[in-house]
Amino acid sequence: MVKIGMMIGERYEILEKIGTGGMSDVYKGKDHKLNRFVAIKVLKQEFSENENFVSKFRIEAQAAAGLMHPNIVNVYDVGEENGIYYIVMELVEGITLKKYIEKKARLSYKEAVSIGIQVGMGIEAAHNNHIIHRDIKPQNIIISKDGKVKVTDFGIAKAATSNTITSNVMGSVHYTSPEQARGGYSDEKSDIYSLGITMFEMLTGRVPFNGETTVAIAIKHIQEEMPSPQEYVPEIPNSVESIVLKCCQKSPDRRYQSVQELVTDLKQSLINPDEDFVVVNDPDIEGGTRMLSDDDISRIKHRSVYQDDREYEEEDEPMRLLSDTAALYEEEEDLEEEDEYDYDPKMERVTTILAVVAGIVICIIIIILALKIFGNRGESDGLDSPVNTDETADTEYVDMPVVTGMNVTDAQSTLKDLGLEVNVVYEESETIDEDVVISADVSVGTSLQVGSTVTLTVSAGTEGIEIPYVVGMSVGEATSQLTSTGFLVNRTEGNSDTVEKDYVISQMPESGGKAPRGTVINIEVSIGQSRVNVPDLMRRPEDEARAMLIEAKLDIGNVSYVYSNEVEEGYVCYQSYSQGSYVDPGTPIDFRVSKGPESYTYRYNASIAAPTVDEAPDYESGSEVNVKLVTDGGNVLLDTRTSSFPVSANFYGLNSSAGTITITYTVTTTEPDSPPTTEERSFTRRVEFTRE
């Protein structure tokens, strides 16, 4: 049983629950060994006792753990402890592409292409590791707060062998490929189809195929022609439309044969958006529209009927599909009893033999994969020992793309998307337009480590302005000199032990060269010697807040404890310097810790008066009554019989703010020739208590 605050694997602290799915729950956690926040996916208790589910969970987790890429939500660790099976993943703060599209209605073609390039590079990394995602859709793509695009939920992907793997899991039907919809083979080109549908939605704000049921949508993927994105948004460039349509060809052979080919064309579309460079293979019989056979429709119904009542636009937990598949098989058995097919004993025997053979082959493949996966991790079970983070965090490399001839802004964006730093120098040119890249100091195709710097030589036109030298000047003097020369200024701040506060540390582009009028010159301004960035202590446990201040070389100031209706008890609800502020090392930071919501006590000091005529018209003064006082919390404060009023009531330390007084009295009735009869009657009074 996972509880908030518990430790898993002797290093991961469970902080809060952030999501749930059909098979697993997702928690925000703290890795105390590496001092970072992580997402922890925990298999639900009811599945952890099922050996089949656990085996699938472990194999898929190990496969996903082999993926390390800037455009993939990386898996750091997998493990098992006391029956709790978990995967530790990168914690990404941001929104899904689905919500981003809904927020903006539709994206510009440049933004859509840029996102498509990053998604493609993440998928390419998976394909290079023989892993097919099978559920590419906007809900499984996250845009982080810093603008990075990451593909998540490789939980249902399976390590592919040299043969094509048949998928038993149907992804979200709006994005599924025709071969998946038919229940046939799915390979890397199925992911390309789904990415094409995703790009269609980014560009137009809608999916190409829709319907009342999943069966109807699946049939459209197989049978209907792909609509043109330009029908909905005419300004979409021709090359971008051609790329989307090529991705979404019915026949896998007519699509891009690799994600690398797709990414290359996407980058080319940023340079020459209206050029006709997309090559479509000669049409074959599979590429055209074809009518579905009864067998095709029956197979789709069998695979899709269980999903008709589900909302596909939600962000679902991909591993939920594994449990849904089991339910699908049960429904298939019921449907087969209703179908009016002719029974063929010979065919049934052949099918049974083929199923047994396929089962044996799959078992052999799983054993081989398990030996490879677990053998590389030592003699112990991979789930019993944490993954060596230092070994899995291999240095990432990217290939240098073509940037010559691009606008400098687009070239910078392309390189930064790959994780590269960019340095720009200008030179005059009579043959190349202003702001167009003339050359780069790295050859196309060169393998570069992520974070490397690429220097671009950019045309300043025929009338470039010489860039002045402003390093060492005050920020005011530097800004004045640059703007008077005809440049724009972008200011950033940084620490410096050698440059005085408010003076320029560096400039980019550097002085000496020439650049067009209006070029932005970036200057870094000193904020003083080694100032410290104040960490975010809000809503963190007191012990963690103290540790964060010590790690940041800051002193712990005054710590007080206050009531708070918004922050949980034991967590920080105030800090004297806001997150991101720069202060000197050793600055004391005051913070307050929540004691939880404030609780109050009440008192009741009063004299309970006799019943009034309005309350009890038939009450006789002096007769005996029962007086009972009960708080709203059910605590009986007074329960007594009396014939005299007022009744004194003095109570303190009450937890409730109000109560009820019930007065019960007896009425005697006499009738001629009949013995007298008595009847009990009562009424109530509401009373408010006073806060102490």
- DSSP string of 128-185, one letter each residue: HTTEE-S--SGGGEEEETTS-EEE--GGG-EE--SSPEEP-----TTT--HHHHTT-E
* Helix (H) or strand (E) run with residue 77 in it: strand 75-81
Determine contact, residues 156/321, Cβ cutoff 8 Å. yes
Dist. CA 682–CA 627, nearest whole Å:
10
CB atoms within 10 A of CB 165: 18
- CA-CA-CA-CA torsion sign (650, 655, 661, 664): negative
Q: Which of 31, 135, 191, 316 is catalytic?
A: 135
Pairing of strands 12-20, 24-31: antiparallel
Query: Tokens in use for 351?
Result: 């099918």
Dist. CA 614–CA 630, nearest whole Å:
22
Q: Where are the beta strands (DSSP E) in 534-600?
A: 555-562, 572-575, 582-583, 588-594
- What is the longest distance spanned by two Cα atoms in the chain? 130
- CA-CA-CA-CA torsion sign (202, 203, 204, 210): negative
Q: Cα–Cα distances in Å, from 362 out to 330, 365, 366, 618? A: 22, 5, 6, 89
Reference 544, options 20, 2, 31, 26; nearest CA is 31
Dist. CA 394–CA 518, nearest whole Å:
41
Query: Tokens in use for 79?
Result: 């493990």
Three-state secondary structure call for residue 669: strand
Dist. CA 182–CA 251, nearest whole Å:
12
Residue 228 is classified by DSSP as: P
Q: Where are the beta strands (DSSP E) in 367-446?
A: 397-399, 421-427, 437-440
135: annotated active-site residue: yes
Q: What letter represents residue 56's amino acid? A: K
CB atoms within 10 A of CB 480: 14
CB atoms within 10 A of CB 181: 25
Name the CA dihedral angle for 9, 15, 16, 18, rounded to a multiple of 10 degrees. Answer: -60
CB atoms within 10 A of CB 386: 18
Dist. CA 526–CA 307, nearest whole Å:
59
List active site positions: 135
